[in-house]
Copies of this chain bind each other. A is one copy, B any other.
Amino acid sequence: MSTGESPFEWTETGLRVRYAETDQMGIVYYANFLVWFEIGRTDFCRQHGFAYREMEQQDGLYIIVAEARCRYKAPARYDDEILVRTCLRGARKRVLVFGYEVYRQTDGQMLAEGETVHVITDRDGRPRALPDKYREMFLAGVKARSGLGG
């Protein structure tokens, strides 16, 4: 799953499909892929030294979702080991764009790919600029961490 030609670094997050995430079709319910995107996003931030929890608590800033899109390629099933790959596709003053790819670990089958667009707001929902310290963290290379990579 190399992305040698991509200008963007990807972070990788593993998870295992929960029984609660399946529906009566026997596959993962489609909305749960957006939950997985968010897990990938959280992990992307953490691997860049960016604690989203602290940005909420210390700076009173929130990363609001403005748009989400997912293309479903193949179903995910209970107990499947899943790999979520996340990258930052763009980081302008007030807008962040994340890209995602979801794979089944056992055979490398791509299950879905998607994108989310975000804006920064304060506690009252007013648009704000992303503080420089966070912006730099985002754009910096992923910190070395054993077992993870891009």
Contacts and interface: CB of A to CB of B under 8 A. Distances in A.
Interface of A: 18-20, 22-27, 29-32, 34-35, 38-39, 42, 51-53, 56, 62, 64-72, 75, 77-79, 125
Interface centre among A18, A25, A26 (most CB of B within 10 A): A25
B42 A20 contact: no
14 contacts: A18-B42, A19-B38, A19-B42, A20-B23, A20-B35, A24-B26, A25-B62, A25-B64, A30-B38, A51-B79, A53-B78, A66-B71, A67-B71, A68-B68
A23 B42 CA distance: 15
Nearest to A26: B24
